[in-house]
Structures are given as C-alpha cells and as structure tokens.
Amino acid sequence: MTKSRKASDLFIECLEAEGCEYIFGVPGEENLDFLDSLSRSKTIRLILTRHEQGAGFMAATYGRHTGKTGVCIATLGPGATNFVTAAAYAQLGGMPMMMITGQKPIKKSKQGQFQILDVVAMMDPITKYTRQLHAGDNIPSRVREAYRLAEEEKPGAVHLELPEDIAEEPTDAVPIPRSVARRPSAEPKAVRQAVDTLEKAKKPILVIGAGANRKMTGRMLNQFIEKTGIPFVTTQMGKGVIDERHPLFLGCAALSAGDFCHRAIEEADVIVNIGHDVIEKPPFFMKPEGVTVIHVSTKTAEVDPVYFPQIEVIGDIANAIWQIKEDIVKQGHWASGQLKRYHQAELDHTATLAEDTRFPIFPPHLVQQVRDCQPQDGIICLDNGVYKIWFARGYTAYLPNTVLLDNALATMGAGLPSAMMSAMLYPDRKVMAICGDGGFMMNDQEMETAVRLGLDLTVLILRDDAYGMIRWKQANMGFEDFGLTYGNPDFVKFAEAFGAHGHRIESSEHLRETLAHCRDTPGVHLIDCPVDYTENDRILNKDIKELSRQL
C-alpha cells in the first residue's frame, strides 16, 4: 500500500474497525481533515450538536446503553474545555466514551500560542487515558488502546488529540483488529468463604450497586434470589437490574440515611454488596465491630472510613454470583423475610402521597403519573434536582437501563442529551427526559438538534422557578432563603420556536392526558409542569425518618 492516504483517513478506518456508529460533536478549523475523511465513511454518521457538552453527554449515554465506546469530537481550546463536564460524567458514571479534539500544527505553526492550552494535561485527572498523536503511523495502536481501556471495568472516558499537521500527513499504517478480552473469574476459596458466611447468617441482605448494571448480571442475580429468597435493595444507579415489582425488593437507597430501606439494611447481619462503587453516596455506613460485609465486584474495595468489607469476592460479577448460587444451600434459620415489613410500610406511605392531586403538582403524584404512562420498556432520563430523590424512591423500575439517573457526578444539563441518545438508539421505545427548569436550561439549545434529527421524545420540565435542590438544603440548614430564585421563559413558545410541540399543565388530570398524548404522538414535545416542593423538607427529612424509626 502506498502512502496515498492521509492520517485522518486512517483514523476513520480505525474507528470503523472498532464498530463506531456515530460521532457527536461540534467540529472546528483544526478538525477539517478529520471531517473530510468522515464525510466518506459508509458506516459512521456525524451527529452535529449545538454545544460540545451535549455531544459528550450523548456519547457517554451511548456507552451506558450499549457497553460500546461512544465517540465525540471538538476543536482545540474552548471546544475541548467544553468537554470537561461530559468527561467527568462518563468517568465517574462508568460509561465508555472517547473524545477526539483538534490542535494547532505541532511541527511548525505560524499562529504562536493562539487558542493553545495543554488539553492532554487538562484531561489527565478525569480520564482513563489521554494522549496527543505525534505521528500518523501511531494512530492504530493509540485508538485500539483507548477503546480497550474505555470498555474495560470500570468503563470510563478516554481522550485523543489529533493535531492539524498529523491529520494531513501521509501514512500506510493499517488498523489493529479488536481483541476479545474475558474478565477473570472469582477465586473459588473466596466464593466458599462468602457462602459459608451467608449460610451462618440470620438475616442476610443484598445491596445492588452501579457495577451490577452490566450484561448478564441481572439474570444471575434473579436466579440467585429465586434460589435463596434473600431480599435486596438497590442504590440509585443499580435501579432496574432486577424488576422492582419483585416480592423481595426492599427499596432504593435515595436518601443518605434513615429511610425505610436503610432500616432494613441496619437490621441485617450480613450484607452482600454487589457492584459497589464508592462514587455513589454510601447506601449504608460500616462501624467497627459491626455487620459483616461481602464485597462482590470486578475490583477490590476502596477502603474509606465508612466502608471496609471483611470478605471480598473479586472477578466478573455475573460469574461470581453464579458461583455463589451454585454452592449455597437455602437455610431454614434465615429470617430475612421479616425485613419485608419495611418496604411494605414505604409502599403504604408513598401510596397516600401519590394520591394527592393538588396543583401545582405534588412530586410523589407526578412520579406515579409518569410510571402509569410509561410502558414496560419505556426509558426515563433524569437531569439533576430534588425530583431525582422522588423518582429514585417512588418510580418502579422494571428493566435495566430504563431509569437513567446520574448519582456519580450528579451534573445538571445531562437529562435532555441522554434522552436524545436513548431515542436514537431505541426508536420503538417511549423516551422521556425529566428535567428541572434549571437543568433543562443548561443545554436547552439541543432542542434544535432533537427536532433536526426527527426524534420522538417528551421533555417534562418540573418548574419551580428556582434551583430547588439547593434551596431545599438551604432551608434544611436553617439559612435565610437567598440567591436561588430566577425567572423562566414561556416554555410553550420556547418549544414552538424550535419546531417542537409545547404544552402547559393546568391540573393533575391535564397532566395525565398530556403525558399520554405526548407518548402517542410523534415528534419532540416539551411539557411545562409547575411543581409544589413546599413539603420536601417535612416528608424527606422528618416524616420518613420518624415513620421508619417506629418500625
């Protein structure tokens, strides 16, 4: 092969060899060779967004859903800095994502230091791998290594910088084929120790975390729970790994402590912590001389003051659960069934709240309406705000990756882009973005992208005209109400200006009708739904803790 093609052509060939389907982003001058090469690809589609952050969130969500690396592109300087939040979102959330950024020529440049900053150094603390490409011939090995690391447990963000003069230099290198890596299996003696501890326990319980939200793990956990009858709780990012209608489901750890599910965990004497990720708020706090914790994960436990498990089963999680299931014998002395009373009390409490049809809409009622509206495989994508707690606690997840919430970076602005990606990947499923007015307006410009892509999507805005989560915390800490309220545009006109459909909610009944209409009508819909957050503090900080304590 002659050196007849440029390095950017080779880069595209490498991405094609990895199975890349989309590249999201906002190209700049320094990406024009890459863009030219991409224009000739038969298999990769460019998705032009209105901000690099939205592109990064979409690429990360592609990785979250598929387990394959999502790819996004930006120029140097301000384009690259706009990727930083999305990089952290993917890195903390365990989502495989590759960022490609441009750079001025590195061999000789006539532009001095214009727009130049050290993007590789900037990305280093928030990625698994970041490199500048110094030669076209290096591209295949760098791309293969970046993909491998992005997808390996724990998945995360990687970054490659392609300078202008490297992109255009001739090369005869060829892509390196994808390799198949099998994860190591858990060590049999560790499995035996875990089984022995479980069989001697009186009230064992499972806690299912973010790392369990991978292929096959849900299937193995279902089999384990059916065989043993041991009940389970989830963290926010473990929601949906097992159908939450299961009789042994004890709730989702959405508050920091004192909820019904926390009381169940406190009463247990052995906790099997599956796929625990320290990035999430701890679902329980360990104490010296306290309960025995069995850590089941692909990586050893990161020890901190509240987490220092006594037994560790390290390896592929699904395989580890299978090994434990094969060995364990259901014990007659287990009394974990007594823990179910906590969840029943939570269901009774939530049911009374969900019946409240006041206007503006009461959050627990809104959660129930959304659940009633969404089909079995419908997907909700939450931005960040106080409503996330209501949805984590009250929205019954039926399937994995149907409740996309971010309890890792917990960034605002990701709700709309993650819903857009979900709607692109699953055009036959009903997708809803659920955003506060604050979070929505951090990436509202992507409404144009959603309309341009012809997506079927509902954007439900919970409007309280304030940064409500922080305002709630401010009140909770006894501070004066200050500095957290704002005005909003007319969201109906706003939606229509983008060519979307706008709706404004006027009652509980109207919300039910509107949700159904948007679900069944193609196109991009935006719903302006006023919410009543006045009782957040009383219910979440006082009532729940008091009621659960009484049990």
Give the pLDDT score at 362.
Answer: 97
Give the pLDDT score at 304.
Answer: 87
Q: Where are the beta strands (DSSP E) in 410-523?
A: 431-436, 457-463, 501-504
Give the pLDDT score at 1.
Answer: 47
Local mean pLDDT, 10-residue blocks, the chain (551 residues): 82 98 97 98 98 98 97 97 98 97 89 85 98 97 98 96 96 94 91 98 96 88 97 95 96 93 96 91 90 96 92 96 97 95 96 96 98 98 95 96 93 98 98 97 98 98 93 88 95 98 98 98 98 91 92 86
Give the pLDDT score at 113.
Answer: 78
192 Cβ contact list (under 8 Å, min separation 6)? 327
CB 278 within 8 A of CB 271: no
User: Rounded to a whole number, what is the distance in angstroms from the first to the last CA of the chain?
Assistant: 75
Which secondary-structure segment (H or E) carries 101? strand 97-103
Quote the tokens at residue 277: 């990720």
DSSP 222-288: HHHHHHH---EEEEGGGTTSS-TTSTTEEEEE-SSS-SHHHHHHHH-SEEEEES--TTSPPSS---T
Give the pLDDT score at 3.
Answer: 64
pTM given for the model = 0.96
Q: What angle do CA 272, 278, 284 make, to 5 degrees?
A: 50
Q: What angle do CA 414, 415, 417 make, to 5 degrees?
A: 70
CA-to-CA distance for 213 and 478, rounded, in angstroms? 38
Quote the tokens at residue 325: 């299931």
